[in-house]
Structure 1
Amino acid sequence: MSLPLPPPPSYPALSYELFPPRSTQAEDSLWRTIRALEDTRPDFVSVTYGASGSNRDTAVGLLKRLLNETSLKPLAHLTCVGNSRDYLMELVDELISSGVRGILALRGDQPRDSTLPEGELHHANELVELIRRVERLRTAHLCAGKVAVGVAAYSTKHPESPSLEHDIEVLLAKQAAGADFAITQVYFAPEQYSRLLRTARRAGVAIPIIPGVIPFTSVRRLERLSELAGVEIDAPLMDRLKNADDDAGRRRIGVRATVDLAHAALDDGAPGIHIYTFNEHAAALDVLDRLELSRPPAVGLSQSA
C-alpha cells in the first residue's frame, strides 16, 4: 500500500515591478536588471503602463520580450482613465493573444482639466469587469484557464479618498467585480499593513493582499514618492538616511529598514512580497538576501531518489 504524498511546500510569493525603458541606454540597463532578477525565480514581474496609454507600444513590446526571451511571468499594468472602452477591450484582447495571463487593473490618475466622458470607465472595478468580459470571449484560447486580475490596495489612505473605510469599500467592489488579489502601494510603518489587513478581513475582503515595498536607499526617490503618491515619509528613517556617513551606510540603513518592514508583513500573514525596483536590481537583491525568503527549487533540476 503506497503512502499518501505529503503536501507541496508553501513558499511566500515574490514579485517585482519594472517600467518600460525610455531610451536605448535605459533598455540595456533594464535588461541587466531583468537577468539578475530572473535568477531569483520570482512568481511574476509587473510592467507599468503610462498615463492614458502614453507608452503602449513600449510596454507591450517589453511584455512580449519577457514572454519570449525569459522564464518570467509578466503582469501587465492597465489603467482605464483616459482610455476608451473599445480601446481597452482591444488592448486586453491583444495582451491575452500575446500570452499575458496576468493584468493589474488600475484606475489611473484623474485628469485635472477635463471631465471623463459618459459611457467610459471611471473606476478600477469597471476595468476588472471589462477584463473578465474579454476573458469570456477568449475561453478557448485560454484552454479553460483564466487571467489572474490584480488591483491596488492602500495601507495608507488614498490621496483622493475621504477615509480608510472608503478605501476598503472600493477594495470590496474590486473583489466583487472579479479581482483575484491586491498589491499595496508603498508604505513605511508595519502597523499600516496590519491595519489594512485586519480591517479588510473584517469587512469581507478575502483575496490575498500583497504588501508592496521599496528599498529605502534613496532620499531623493523617497521624497519624490511622497510628493507624487501622498505617502507620509517615516521621519526617523529619513533622519537616519540623511545623516548616514556615506552612500554605503545609507544603503545599509535603507535595506535593513525595508527588510524589517517585509518581515513584519510576513509575520502578519502576508502571502508574499512585491518589490518596487525602479528598474534597479542591486538594492532589491540586497533586500532579498537579507530577507532570506524561501524559494521553490529551480524547475528542471533533477533530484536523486
Structure 2
Amino acid sequence: MSSPTYPALSYELYPPKNAEADDSLWTTIRRLEDTRPDFVSVTYGAAGSNRETAIDLLRRLLTETTLKPLAHLTCVGSSRAELTDIIDRLIGGGVRGILALRGDAPDGVDTHSDDVEHADDLVRLIREVEARRTAQLAAGKVSVGVAAYATRHPDSPNLEQDIEVLLAKEEAGADFAITQVFFQPSDYARLVDRADRAGVTIPIIPGIMPLTSTRRLKKAGALAGIDVDQDLWARLEGARTDEERRTVGVSATVALARAALDDGAPGIHLYTFNEHAAALEVLDALDLERPPEAGLAASL
C-alpha cells in the first residue's frame, strides 16, 4: 500500500547582517525546525554580495540542525569559473538543493557572466557539475529549483514570455519552481493553467508572504512590479492595534494559501523575513497536514 502524500512545507531565510540579527535568526530557526519543514531556503545577495555569510549559514544548518537547506544561487555578475567553484563548494559541503536564479546586479556591478547569463544556463551548469560528482552523490542527484512568476516579471514583455522562460528552465533540468510573491488567489491558478497548457510539468510551489506589514507589502509589491490589494491595505491601515493588524494579515495570508492548495498547489513556501511569529500563526491557522514524526526504519 502506498504512503499518503502530504503538502510540502518550506520557509525562506536570509543570512544575518550582524551578531544581534544572528541571535534573532537562530531563535527563528529553532522554532521553525519544530514544524519539520521539508526544506528551508537561504537567500543569496545580489551578485553574491553576502556569499560567505550565506555559505556559513548553510554549513551551520547542515551541521547544527535537522533542516535540509536549499541554497539560492544567482548567476548575474559571476563568471562561469566562479559559479562552478561555488556549486562545487555547495555540493562538497553537503548541500543537496540549489535554487537557480538569474538575480539582479547592484548598480555599478559588471553583469558579464560568460555563457551563464540566465537561470536556464545556471541550471545546466549545476547539472554539469553534478554529473562529475555522481559517485560522491551515491548515484543520487541535486534537487534544482527555479523561480516562477504568478504575475508578469518586471522585465518581461508579457505573461507568455514568462511561461516560455519557465519551460526553458525545466528543459534545462529544473525539478521544481517557487513563485515570487502574489496577492490575489487567482494569480496562482492562472499561472498553473498557463504553465500546464504550455507543457510545463514540474511542480510549482506558491511562495506566500505573511501579509501583516504594510511596509513589507509595499516593498514586495514594488520589487515584483505588482499592485498591493487595496482592500487588504485599507484593512491593515485601519487596524487600531498591532494585534488587530496581525489578525487581519494572518487571515488574508491563510486565505491566499488555502486557495492555492485548493487549486492543486503541491505545498506552501513561506517567506519569513527571519521572523517566526507570523509564519507560525499562518501555519497554525492553515492547519496544514504533516506526515507523522517517525524514524527512518519505521518509514521503510
Q: TM-score range by the shorter chain?
A: over 0.9
The 1-side partners of 2:46 and 2:292 are apart by: 38
- Which of the residues 83, 105, 126 maps onto 2:100? 105
Within the alignment, does 1:90 sit opposite 2:85 as a pair? yes
Task: Answer yes or no: is the 8 Å Cα contact 2:178–2:204 preserved in 1.
Answer: yes
The match for 2:153 is: 158
Alpha-carbon deviations, 1:200-249, whole Å to 9, x = none?
A: 00000000000000110011111111222212211100010000111100
Structure 1 unaligned spans of 5+: 1-5
Within the alignment, does 1:291 sit opposite 2:253 as a pair? no
- Counterparts of 1:2-13 in structure 2, within 5 Å, are 6-13=1-8
The 2-side partners of 1:118 and 1:15 are apart by: 30
Within the alignment, does 1:280 sit opposite 2:275 as a pair? yes
- Which of the residues 193, 199, 202 maps onto 1:198? 193
- Which of the residues 42, 50, 53 maps onto 1:47? 42
Query: Once the 2 structures are TM-superposed, how far is the Cα of residue 173 of structure 1 from its aligned partner?
Result: 0.4
The 1-side partners of 2:257 and 2:109 are apart by: 39
The 2-side partners of 1:254 and 1:227 are apart by: 19
The 1-side partners of 2:271 and 2:211 are apart by: 10
- Counterparts of 1:155-304 in structure 2, within 5 Å, are 155-300=150-295
Task: Answer yes or no: is the 8 Å Cα contact 2:43–2:71 preserved in 1.
Answer: yes
Query: Once the 2 structures are TM-superposed, how far is the Cα of residue 51 of structure 1 from its aligned partner?
Result: 0.9
Task: Answer yes or no: is the 8 Å Cα contact 2:79–2:113 preserved in 1.
Answer: no
The 1-side partners of 2:49 and 2:105 are apart by: 15
Within the alignment, does 1:117 sit opposite 2:118 as a pair? no
The 2-side partners of 1:232 and 1:94 are apart by: 39
The 2-side partners of 1:84 and 1:93 are apart by: 14
Superposition RMSD on alpha carbons, in Å? Answer: 1.4
Aligned in 2, Cα 1:114/1:302: closer, same or farther, shift over 3 Å? closer
Query: Once the 2 structures are TM-superposed, how far is the Cα of residue 301 of structure 1 from its aligned partner?
Result: 9.6
SS at match of 1:139: coil
Task: Answer yes or no: is the 8 Å Cα contact 2:116–2:122 preserved in 1.
Answer: yes
The 1-side partners of 2:292 and 2:227 are apart by: 38
Aligned in 2, Cα 1:80/1:302: closer, same or farther, shift over 3 Å? closer
Within the alignment, does 1:76 sit opposite 2:71 as a pair? yes
Alpha-carbon deviations, 1:98-136, whole Å to 9, x = none?
A: 100000000001565576437342100000000000000
The match for 1:3 is: none
The 2-side partners of 1:197 and 1:266 are apart by: 12
Query: Once the 2 structures are TM-superposed, how far is the Cα of residue 82 of structure 1 from its aligned partner?
Result: 0.4
The 2-side partners of 1:115 and 1:50 are apart by: 15
Aligned in 2, Cα 1:60/1:114: closer, same or farther, shift over 3 Å? closer
The match for 2:135 is: 140
Per mean C-alpha deviation after superposition, the further-off stretch among 272-281 and 114-123 is: 114-123
SS at match of 2:186: helix
SS at match of 1:257: helix
Task: Answer yes or no: is the 8 Å Cα contact 2:84–2:125 preserved in 1.
Answer: yes
Q: Which amino acid aligns with 2:62?
A: L
SS at match of 1:258: helix
Q: Which amino acid aligns with 1:299?
A: A
Aligned in 2, Cα 1:119/1:285: closer, same or farther, shift over 3 Å? same
Aligned residues: 298
TM superposition score normalised by structure 2: 0.97
The 1-side partners of 2:110 and 2:167 are apart by: 25
Within the alignment, does 1:62 sit opposite 2:62 as a pair? no
Moved over 2 A (4+): 110-120, 299-303
- Counterparts of 1:16-55 in structure 2, within 5 Å, are 16-55=11-50
The 2-side partners of 1:133 and 1:301 are apart by: 31
SS at match of 1:105: strand
Identity %: 65
Q: Which amino acid aligns with 1:123?
A: H
Alpha-carbon deviations, 1:6-55, whole Å to 9, x = none?
A: 21011000000000000000000000000000000000000000111111
